[in-house]
Structure 1
Amino acid sequence: MDAVAAWWPSSDGVGRAVALVLLAMSIATWALIVWKSWLLRRVRRDLGRGVALFWAAPSLDVARQRLATADREQLLLPLVDAALAAPDDDALEARAAQAARLTRRLRGALHRAVATLQHGQVVLASIGATAPFVGLFGTVWGIYHALLAIAASGTVTIDKVAGPVGEALLMTAAGLAVAIPAVLAYNVHGRRVAACEAELEGFAHDLRELLGTGNDQRR
């Protein structure tokens, strides 16, 4: 903290802007880590409970009612609604076989559910990929700024060089400190999203097998 306090007054607008960008990246990273951890834990719990309630129901109507109370993030329920939706008689969809219509509607609902689970992943990946280079740019600019100040003073000694250069190197460390949590969170959350996606795909497949015969399964 002392090094940062010493570096800030001597830095120029570019160096301070780089530091603020890294600070914003760090705040965004940790906000996403907390939110995604909470969301994915909640989703995993709801998926397990919702699927069990659905298949234990005596009919589709009852199963949908039970699922509406368990599926708090609305990931399973849109699959059921898409499977039960009646096609428009005037649309091209009505000309396709029932199994094909069912597959298309379930695929669309599944893609929307997966997109919901993947919210924030692009931000984490982008921060993890760019933060080290932002920090490196801050270091290069800080060294350049420090060398200009030393040249303007007319005297070059090791203590005059080591201090500003060492303070500038803090930007590289800051970039790594921002990037590493973002990369780790991206990988951990990616595995959890993949597990949720596999469970949703399994539910969609079983739902298609249930309704693909064309029989009325509501009662």
Structure 2
Amino acid sequence: MPITLSQYWMQLDDLSRSVAVFLILMSLVSWFTIFAKSWSFWRIRRSTSALHAFWSAPTIEDAVTVLDALDVESIYTPMAKLGLAAANPQARARSIMAKTDLSDVMTRVLREELNRVTVRLESGLTLLASIGATAPFVGLLGTVWGIYHALTAVAGSTAIQIDLVAGPVGEALVMTGLGLIVAIPAVLAYNAFNRINRITFAELDGFAFDLHAHLTKVN
């Protein structure tokens, strides 16, 4: 007769319960990150048409306004706004960049914004990678500990019975399965998000290059 979840929980010792709770917490954090990043990336990919609308606008001011309306995650808009501000001679005159070449100023501003967006897009990915890499080993720890207790019970018994080993070992292997259940979604999500990031970074890099060329020639 299979044991229920409550019976299984009661048979665990303190260390096994701690491992199980830790894996459950890792799973909750992983799924929260997956849902949050999925929503964000979906909105980002839906806003890629904003770049075409930007370059189709009659003036750079109109282009920034259109981009601001379509870029719901504010991935591209800050770069355009900062680039436009850096191209303003009056704004540069009030700072230490007054005597700096416009091309150098634009390069620094756009590079800083690219770095900021990169940090934002990659936030949470290290957490998913860590969970995907460590969850199986955490589950294996629970398995090894459970098997150790099963063997200890057999060693203390006068007669070797299969029930003394099969039940505890089967329960211990649940920890390995739980670790894999936690790790597999995290690894798959990490790989998917990395691919989306590579596409977004390429678009951002191209936008920064085109913006640099446009603003330095106009001014």
Task: Using structure 1 for the length normalisation, give the TM-score.
Answer: 0.89
C-alpha distance after superposition, 1:117-171 (max 9, x if no partner) = 2221111100001001100111111222333344455543221111101110111
Q: Is the CA contact 1:3–1:167 (under 8 Å) kept in the aligned structure 2? A: no
The match for 2:149 among 139, 145, 152 is 145
Residue 87 of structure 1 corresponds to which residue in structure 2? 92
Report how many aligned residue pairs link the two structures: 213
Q: Is the CA contact 1:4–1:167 (under 8 Å) kept in the aligned structure 2? A: no
Please state if 1:11 is matched with 2:12. yes
Residue 40 of structure 1 corresponds to which residue in structure 2? 41
Residue 125 of structure 1 corresponds to which residue in structure 2? 129
Measure, in 1, the Cα distance between the counterparts of 2:58 and 2:171: 69
- What is the deviation of 1:205? 0.8
Please state if 1:201 is matched with 2:205. yes
Letter in 1 for 2:9: W
Deviates more, 1:192-201 or 1:110-119: 110-119
Letter in 2 for 1:87: R
Letter in 2 for 1:6: Q
Measure, in 2, the Cα distance between the counterparts of 1:23 and 1:118: 24
Measure, in 2, the Cα distance between the counterparts of 1:100 and 1:23: 50
Measure, in 2, the Cα distance between the counterparts of 1:174 and 1:155: 32
Q: Is the CA contact 1:18–1:134 (under 8 Å) kept in the aligned structure 2? A: yes
Measure, in 2, the Cα distance between the counterparts of 1:71 and 1:97: 30
Q: Is the CA contact 2:153–2:164 (under 8 Å) kept in the aligned structure 1? A: no
Measure, in 2, the Cα distance between the counterparts of 1:153 and 1:9: 22
By relative contact order (CA 8 Å, sep 6+), the higher-ranking structure is: 1
C-alpha distance after superposition, 1:160-208 (max 9, x if no partner) = 1111011101111111111111111100111011111111111111100
Alignment of 1:62-211 (within 5 A): 62-85=62-85, 86-87=91-92, 89-91=94-96, 93-152=97-156, 154-211=158-215
Letter in 2 for 1:20: V
Letter in 1 for 2:83: A
Instruction: Specify whether residues 11 and 51 from structure 1 end up closer, same or farther in structure 2 by C-alpha distance, changes over 3 A only.
Output: same
Measure, in 2, the Cα distance between the counterparts of 1:159 and 1:26: 32
Measure, in 1, the Cα distance between the counterparts of 2:42 and 2:162: 54
Which runs of 5 or more residues in structure 1 are unaligned? none
Residue 58 of structure 1 corresponds to which residue in structure 2? 58
- What is the deviation of 1:7? 2.5
Task: Using structure 2 for the length normalisation, give the TM-score.
Answer: 0.89
Letter in 2 for 1:43: I
